Amino acid sequence: MTKDRTLGEHMSRRGISRRAFGKYCAYLASTMALSPKMAPAMAQGLAAARRQAVIWLSFQECTGCTESFTRSYSPTLEDLIFDFISLDYHHTLQAASGEAAELAREQSMEENKGKYIVVVDGSVPTKDGGVYSMIAGHTNVDILASTIENAFAVVAVGTCAAFGGLPYAKPNPTGAVAISELVGNKPLINIPGCPPVPEAMTGTIAHILAFGSLPELDDKHRPLAFFGESIHDRCYRRSFYERGLFAKSFDDEGARKGWCLYEVGCKGPIAYNTCATTKWNGGTSFPIQSGHTCFACGSPNFWDQGGFYKSLPSRTSSIGTVAGATAAAGVALGAGAALIAANRKKQYSKET
Protein backbone atom coordinates (compact mmCIF):
# COMPACT_ATOMS: atom_id res chain seq x y z
CA MET A 1 0.00 0.00 0.00
CA THR A 2 1.03 3.61 -0.44
CA LYS A 3 2.82 4.68 2.75
CA ASP A 4 1.16 8.09 3.04
CA ARG A 5 -2.32 6.60 2.90
CA THR A 6 -4.19 6.30 6.20
CA LEU A 7 -5.45 2.97 7.40
CA GLY A 8 -9.01 4.22 6.84
CA GLU A 9 -8.25 5.01 3.20
CA HIS A 10 -6.35 1.77 2.73
CA MET A 11 -9.20 -0.35 4.11
CA SER A 12 -11.84 1.63 2.26
CA ARG A 13 -10.17 0.81 -1.03
CA ARG A 14 -10.41 -2.85 -0.09
CA GLY A 15 -14.15 -2.43 0.46
CA ILE A 16 -13.89 -2.53 4.27
CA SER A 17 -16.06 0.15 5.85
CA ARG A 18 -15.49 2.23 8.94
CA ARG A 19 -17.99 0.01 10.72
CA ALA A 20 -15.26 -2.66 10.79
CA PHE A 21 -13.01 -0.20 12.70
CA GLY A 22 -15.88 0.51 15.09
CA LYS A 23 -16.49 -3.15 15.70
CA TYR A 24 -12.79 -3.94 16.10
CA CYS A 25 -12.37 -1.16 18.64
CA ALA A 26 -15.50 -2.23 20.57
CA TYR A 27 -13.87 -5.66 20.80
CA LEU A 28 -10.49 -4.15 21.72
CA ALA A 29 -11.95 -1.89 24.43
CA SER A 30 -13.78 -4.85 25.93
CA THR A 31 -10.65 -7.04 25.84
CA MET A 32 -8.51 -4.32 27.42
CA ALA A 33 -11.17 -3.39 30.03
CA LEU A 34 -11.32 0.16 28.72
CA SER A 35 -14.53 2.17 28.81
CA PRO A 36 -16.70 1.14 25.82
CA LYS A 37 -17.35 4.86 25.27
CA MET A 38 -13.73 5.14 24.12
CA ALA A 39 -14.27 2.78 21.17
CA PRO A 40 -15.39 5.46 18.66
CA ALA A 41 -12.35 7.64 19.50
CA MET A 42 -10.08 4.61 19.16
CA ALA A 43 -11.64 3.77 15.79
CA GLN A 44 -11.09 7.37 14.69
CA GLY A 45 -7.45 7.24 15.83
CA LEU A 46 -6.86 3.91 14.12
CA ALA A 47 -8.44 5.05 10.83
CA ALA A 48 -6.27 8.18 10.83
CA ALA A 49 -3.04 6.26 11.62
CA ARG A 50 -0.46 5.21 9.05
CA ARG A 51 0.50 1.58 8.69
CA GLN A 52 2.93 0.74 11.49
CA ALA A 53 6.37 -0.54 10.51
CA VAL A 54 7.36 -3.52 12.66
CA ILE A 55 10.75 -5.25 12.76
CA TRP A 56 10.58 -8.63 14.47
CA LEU A 57 13.86 -10.01 15.87
CA SER A 58 14.09 -13.66 16.88
CA PHE A 59 16.91 -14.64 19.23
CA GLN A 60 17.09 -17.61 21.65
CA GLU A 61 13.52 -18.78 21.09
CA CYS A 62 11.39 -21.65 19.75
CA THR A 63 9.06 -19.70 17.39
CA GLY A 64 6.10 -20.53 19.64
CA CYS A 65 5.41 -16.79 20.07
CA THR A 66 5.10 -16.37 16.29
CA GLU A 67 2.86 -19.44 16.13
CA SER A 68 0.62 -17.82 18.75
CA PHE A 69 0.65 -14.39 17.09
CA THR A 70 -0.42 -15.79 13.73
CA ARG A 71 -3.25 -17.73 15.32
CA SER A 72 -5.32 -14.88 16.62
CA TYR A 73 -8.78 -16.34 16.90
CA SER A 74 -10.99 -14.86 14.25
CA PRO A 75 -10.27 -15.16 10.53
CA THR A 76 -11.83 -11.75 10.00
CA LEU A 77 -12.05 -9.47 13.01
CA GLU A 78 -8.77 -10.12 14.77
CA ASP A 79 -6.88 -10.52 11.49
CA LEU A 80 -7.40 -6.81 10.86
CA ILE A 81 -4.19 -6.24 12.83
CA PHE A 82 -2.24 -7.72 9.91
CA ASP A 83 -3.64 -4.96 7.70
CA PHE A 84 -2.63 -2.34 10.26
CA ILE A 85 1.05 -3.27 10.45
CA SER A 86 3.82 -3.66 7.92
CA LEU A 87 5.92 -6.58 9.08
CA ASP A 88 9.17 -5.56 7.39
CA TYR A 89 11.47 -8.21 8.87
CA HIS A 90 10.64 -11.57 10.38
CA HIS A 91 12.83 -14.66 9.90
CA THR A 92 10.01 -17.17 9.80
CA LEU A 93 7.46 -15.22 7.78
CA GLN A 94 9.50 -13.19 5.30
CA ALA A 95 10.06 -14.43 1.76
CA ALA A 96 13.50 -12.80 1.46
CA SER A 97 16.61 -14.46 2.83
CA GLY A 98 20.30 -13.72 3.29
CA GLU A 99 21.51 -10.24 2.38
CA ALA A 100 18.13 -9.25 0.90
CA ALA A 101 16.47 -9.92 4.26
CA GLU A 102 19.04 -7.85 6.17
CA LEU A 103 18.66 -5.08 3.59
CA ALA A 104 14.88 -5.03 4.19
CA ARG A 105 15.53 -4.49 7.90
CA GLU A 106 18.01 -1.69 7.27
CA GLN A 107 15.70 0.02 4.76
CA SER A 108 12.76 -0.07 7.14
CA MET A 109 14.93 1.40 9.92
CA GLU A 110 16.04 4.22 7.63
CA GLU A 111 12.61 5.02 6.17
CA ASN A 112 10.78 4.87 9.51
CA LYS A 113 13.42 6.43 11.76
CA GLY A 114 11.97 7.11 15.22
CA LYS A 115 8.63 5.53 14.32
CA TYR A 116 9.12 1.81 13.94
CA ILE A 117 8.43 -0.79 16.61
CA VAL A 118 10.90 -3.56 17.35
CA VAL A 119 9.30 -6.81 18.50
CA VAL A 120 11.72 -9.27 20.08
CA ASP A 121 11.13 -12.89 20.95
CA GLY A 122 13.80 -14.90 22.68
CA SER A 123 16.46 -14.06 25.23
CA VAL A 124 19.94 -12.80 24.37
CA PRO A 125 23.09 -14.81 25.19
CA THR A 126 25.87 -12.68 26.62
CA LYS A 127 28.47 -15.28 27.73
CA ASP A 128 31.72 -15.63 25.75
CA GLY A 129 31.08 -12.52 23.71
CA GLY A 130 27.54 -13.56 22.76
CA VAL A 131 28.71 -16.27 20.32
CA TYR A 132 25.92 -18.71 21.21
CA SER A 133 23.40 -17.04 18.91
CA MET A 134 24.43 -15.12 15.82
CA ILE A 135 22.59 -13.93 12.72
CA ALA A 136 24.34 -12.90 9.49
CA GLY A 137 27.66 -12.92 11.34
CA HIS A 138 26.51 -10.59 14.12
CA THR A 139 25.75 -11.40 17.74
CA ASN A 140 22.22 -10.93 19.06
CA VAL A 141 23.56 -8.23 21.39
CA ASP A 142 24.87 -6.19 18.44
CA ILE A 143 21.78 -6.69 16.26
CA LEU A 144 19.48 -5.64 19.09
CA ALA A 145 21.56 -2.55 19.88
CA SER A 146 21.70 -1.35 16.28
CA THR A 147 18.03 -2.11 15.54
CA ILE A 148 16.52 -0.38 18.59
CA GLU A 149 18.69 2.73 18.27
CA ASN A 150 16.06 4.67 16.29
CA ALA A 151 12.97 2.68 17.31
CA PHE A 152 9.84 4.23 18.81
CA ALA A 153 9.45 1.37 21.25
CA VAL A 154 10.52 -2.20 21.95
CA VAL A 155 7.99 -4.97 22.58
CA ALA A 156 9.44 -8.09 24.19
CA VAL A 157 7.05 -10.97 23.47
CA GLY A 158 7.21 -14.26 25.30
CA THR A 159 8.76 -15.10 28.63
CA CYS A 160 12.25 -15.65 27.12
CA ALA A 161 12.38 -12.05 25.87
CA ALA A 162 10.56 -10.58 28.86
CA PHE A 163 12.28 -12.43 31.70
CA GLY A 164 14.88 -14.79 30.21
CA GLY A 165 12.58 -17.83 30.12
CA LEU A 166 13.93 -21.28 29.38
CA PRO A 167 17.44 -20.21 28.25
CA TYR A 168 17.78 -18.25 31.52
CA ALA A 169 16.83 -21.30 33.65
CA LYS A 170 19.56 -22.77 35.83
CA PRO A 171 22.38 -23.27 35.00
CA ASN A 172 21.91 -20.72 32.17
CA PRO A 173 24.85 -22.00 30.08
CA THR A 174 24.72 -19.19 27.51
CA GLY A 175 24.52 -16.29 29.96
CA ALA A 176 21.02 -15.46 28.65
CA VAL A 177 19.44 -12.18 29.72
CA ALA A 178 16.03 -10.58 29.27
CA ILE A 179 15.61 -7.78 26.72
CA SER A 180 15.03 -5.30 29.55
CA GLU A 181 18.72 -5.70 30.48
CA LEU A 182 19.81 -4.38 27.09
CA VAL A 183 17.44 -1.60 26.02
CA GLY A 184 18.54 1.20 28.35
CA ASN A 185 15.89 3.92 28.54
CA LYS A 186 14.09 2.92 25.34
CA PRO A 187 10.32 2.52 25.96
CA LEU A 188 9.74 -1.19 26.63
CA ILE A 189 6.62 -3.34 26.82
CA ASN A 190 6.84 -6.92 28.10
CA ILE A 191 4.18 -9.38 26.93
CA PRO A 192 5.26 -12.59 28.68
CA GLY A 193 3.79 -16.05 28.31
CA CYS A 194 5.01 -19.32 26.90
CA PRO A 195 3.62 -18.42 24.46
CA PRO A 196 1.77 -15.15 25.13
CA VAL A 197 -1.98 -14.93 24.56
CA PRO A 198 -2.34 -13.71 20.94
CA GLU A 199 -4.87 -11.04 21.87
CA ALA A 200 -2.38 -9.55 24.37
CA MET A 201 0.11 -9.06 21.52
CA THR A 202 -2.29 -7.76 18.87
CA GLY A 203 -4.25 -5.66 21.38
CA THR A 204 -1.10 -3.94 22.62
CA ILE A 205 0.03 -3.06 19.10
CA ALA A 206 -3.46 -1.84 18.15
CA HIS A 207 -3.48 0.33 21.29
CA ILE A 208 -0.20 1.99 20.25
CA LEU A 209 -1.66 2.65 16.78
CA ALA A 210 -4.98 4.02 18.04
CA PHE A 211 -3.58 6.26 20.79
CA GLY A 212 -0.03 6.88 19.55
CA SER A 213 1.25 5.99 23.02
CA LEU A 214 2.14 2.98 25.13
CA PRO A 215 -0.62 1.35 27.20
CA GLU A 216 -0.50 1.61 30.98
CA LEU A 217 2.17 -0.76 32.34
CA ASP A 218 2.96 -2.39 35.69
CA ASP A 219 6.36 -2.41 37.41
CA LYS A 220 7.50 -5.27 35.15
CA HIS A 221 6.55 -3.32 32.00
CA ARG A 222 3.50 -5.52 31.35
CA PRO A 223 0.27 -3.94 30.02
CA LEU A 224 -2.13 -3.77 32.96
CA ALA A 225 -5.05 -4.47 30.66
CA PHE A 226 -3.83 -8.04 30.18
CA PHE A 227 -1.62 -8.62 33.21
CA GLY A 228 -3.35 -6.60 35.93
CA GLU A 229 -5.07 -9.54 37.60
CA SER A 230 -3.92 -13.01 38.60
CA ILE A 231 -5.26 -16.19 37.05
CA HIS A 232 -6.52 -17.06 40.55
CA ASP A 233 -8.47 -13.79 40.78
CA ARG A 234 -10.42 -14.60 37.62
CA CYS A 235 -10.52 -18.40 37.86
CA TYR A 236 -13.95 -19.99 37.59
CA ARG A 237 -12.76 -22.61 40.14
CA ARG A 238 -12.04 -19.98 42.77
CA SER A 239 -15.28 -20.63 44.62
CA PHE A 240 -13.93 -24.12 45.42
CA TYR A 241 -10.75 -22.59 46.79
CA GLU A 242 -12.81 -20.36 49.08
CA ARG A 243 -14.76 -23.39 50.31
CA GLY A 244 -11.58 -25.46 50.81
CA LEU A 245 -12.49 -28.03 48.15
CA PHE A 246 -9.30 -29.27 46.44
CA ALA A 247 -8.26 -32.02 44.05
CA LYS A 248 -5.48 -33.99 45.74
CA SER A 249 -4.40 -35.81 42.58
CA PHE A 250 -5.28 -35.58 38.90
CA ASP A 251 -7.69 -38.50 38.90
CA ASP A 252 -9.40 -38.29 42.27
CA GLU A 253 -12.99 -37.34 43.01
CA GLY A 254 -12.11 -33.67 43.46
CA ALA A 255 -10.44 -33.51 40.04
CA ARG A 256 -13.50 -35.13 38.46
CA LYS A 257 -15.78 -32.64 40.13
CA GLY A 258 -13.73 -29.71 38.87
CA TRP A 259 -12.46 -28.57 42.28
CA CYS A 260 -9.54 -26.20 42.82
CA LEU A 261 -6.13 -27.48 41.61
CA TYR A 262 -4.09 -25.50 44.13
CA GLU A 263 -2.84 -28.56 46.02
CA VAL A 264 -1.62 -30.31 42.86
CA GLY A 265 0.65 -27.38 42.10
CA CYS A 266 -1.48 -24.69 40.44
CA LYS A 267 0.46 -21.42 40.29
CA GLY A 268 -2.63 -19.34 39.50
CA PRO A 269 -2.26 -17.12 42.60
CA ILE A 270 1.17 -15.86 41.46
CA ALA A 271 0.43 -15.86 37.71
CA TYR A 272 -0.53 -12.51 36.22
CA ASN A 273 -1.99 -13.13 32.79
CA THR A 274 -5.23 -13.02 30.83
CA CYS A 275 -5.76 -16.75 30.14
CA ALA A 276 -8.73 -17.11 32.52
CA THR A 277 -10.74 -14.41 30.75
CA THR A 278 -9.46 -14.24 27.15
CA LYS A 279 -8.74 -17.99 27.06
CA TRP A 280 -7.07 -19.88 24.20
CA ASN A 281 -7.95 -21.31 20.81
CA GLY A 282 -10.76 -18.95 20.01
CA GLY A 283 -11.97 -18.66 23.60
CA THR A 284 -12.34 -22.44 23.90
CA SER A 285 -10.53 -23.08 27.13
CA PHE A 286 -7.43 -22.50 29.22
CA PRO A 287 -5.23 -25.00 31.10
CA ILE A 288 -7.25 -24.99 34.35
CA GLN A 289 -10.53 -25.43 32.46
CA SER A 290 -8.93 -28.39 30.71
CA GLY A 291 -8.14 -29.97 34.08
CA HIS A 292 -4.48 -28.99 34.39
CA THR A 293 -2.66 -26.59 36.67
CA CYS A 294 -1.38 -23.16 35.69
CA PHE A 295 2.45 -23.11 35.39
CA ALA A 296 2.63 -19.31 35.69
CA CYS A 297 4.44 -19.42 32.36
CA GLY A 298 4.31 -15.62 32.09
CA SER A 299 6.17 -15.09 35.38
CA PRO A 300 9.89 -14.51 35.96
CA ASN A 301 11.85 -17.70 36.73
CA PHE A 302 8.89 -19.98 36.10
CA TRP A 303 11.20 -22.86 35.15
CA ASP A 304 12.99 -22.65 38.49
CA GLN A 305 10.07 -22.56 40.91
CA GLY A 306 10.75 -25.98 42.35
CA GLY A 307 8.46 -28.14 40.19
CA PHE A 308 5.32 -27.67 38.14
CA TYR A 309 3.34 -30.01 40.39
CA LYS A 310 4.63 -28.79 43.73
CA SER A 311 2.10 -26.75 45.64
CA LEU A 312 2.87 -23.13 46.51
CA PRO A 313 4.24 -22.77 50.05
CA SER A 314 1.30 -20.98 51.65
CA ARG A 315 -2.37 -20.94 50.84
CA THR A 316 -2.98 -17.55 52.34
CA SER A 317 0.04 -15.41 51.50
CA SER A 318 -0.23 -12.92 48.63
CA ILE A 319 -3.74 -14.11 47.86
CA GLY A 320 -6.59 -11.69 48.33
CA THR A 321 -9.43 -12.81 50.55
CA VAL A 322 -13.05 -12.53 49.58
CA ALA A 323 -16.21 -13.54 51.33
CA GLY A 324 -16.50 -17.27 51.90
CA ALA A 325 -19.89 -17.81 50.30
CA THR A 326 -19.79 -18.61 46.62
CA ALA A 327 -22.35 -15.98 45.68
CA ALA A 328 -20.57 -13.33 47.68
CA ALA A 329 -17.28 -14.29 46.03
CA GLY A 330 -18.80 -13.78 42.61
CA VAL A 331 -20.11 -10.32 43.45
CA ALA A 332 -16.90 -9.30 45.20
CA LEU A 333 -14.82 -10.32 42.19
CA GLY A 334 -17.15 -8.39 39.93
CA ALA A 335 -16.89 -5.32 42.12
CA GLY A 336 -13.09 -5.61 42.11
CA ALA A 337 -13.03 -5.88 38.34
CA ALA A 338 -15.35 -2.90 38.05
CA LEU A 339 -13.08 -0.87 40.34
CA ILE A 340 -9.98 -1.74 38.30
CA ALA A 341 -11.82 -0.88 35.09
CA ALA A 342 -12.99 2.40 36.61
CA ASN A 343 -9.45 3.30 37.68
CA ARG A 344 -8.14 2.54 34.21
CA LYS A 345 -10.92 4.60 32.73
CA LYS A 346 -9.84 7.56 34.87
CA GLN A 347 -6.22 7.20 33.88
CA TYR A 348 -7.07 6.91 30.19
CA SER A 349 -9.41 9.89 30.45
CA LYS A 350 -6.46 11.93 31.70
CA GLU A 351 -4.29 10.76 28.80
CA THR A 352 -6.80 11.48 26.05
Residue 50: DSSP 8-state: B
Q: Does 62 bind another protein (CB under 8 A)?
A: no
Angle at 27 between CA 238 and CA 213, to 5 degrees: 100
| From candidates 64, 73, 87, 104, binder to another protein by CB under 8 A | 73
Closest CB to another protein among residues 270, 329: 329
CB of 117 to another protein, least distance (A): 24
CB of 64 to another protein, least distance (A): 22
String of contacts with another protein for each residue 214-253, x by CB under 8 A = ----------------------xx-xx----------x--
* Rounded alpha-carbon distances, angstroms, from residue 147 to 85, 241, 243, 320: 18, 47, 52, 42
Helix (H) or strand (E) holding 87: strand 85-89
Total of chain residues touching another protein, rule CB under 8 A: 49
CA pair distance 304, 342, nearest whole angstrom = 36
Q: Does 47 bind another protein (CB under 8 A)?
A: yes
Q: Does 339 bind another protein (CB under 8 A)?
A: no
End-to-end CA distance of the chain: 29
| From candidates 18, 91, 220, 292, binder to another protein by CB under 8 A | 18
Length of the chain counted residue by residue: 352
Concatenating the DSSP letter of every residue in 223-269 gives: BHHHHSSBTTTT-TTHHHHHTT-B-SSTTSHHHHTT-B-GGGT--GG
CA pair distance 350, 257, nearest whole angstrom = 46
CB of 4 to another protein, least distance (A): 17
Closest CB to another protein among residues 80, 153: 80
Q: Are the beta carbons of 87 and 93 closer than 8 angstroms?
A: yes
Please list the residues that pair with 140 across neighbouring strands.
Answer: none
| From candidates 62, 87, 145, 341, binder to another protein by CB under 8 A | 341
String of contacts with another protein for each residue 281-310, x by CB under 8 A = -xx-----x-x-------------------
The residues of the shown chain that bind another protein, judged by CB under 8 A, are 8, 12, 16-20, 22-24, 26-27, 29-30, 33, 35-37, 40, 47, 73-78, 80, 236-237, 239-240, 251, 255-258, 282-283, 289, 291, 326-327, 330-331, 333-334, 337-338, 341
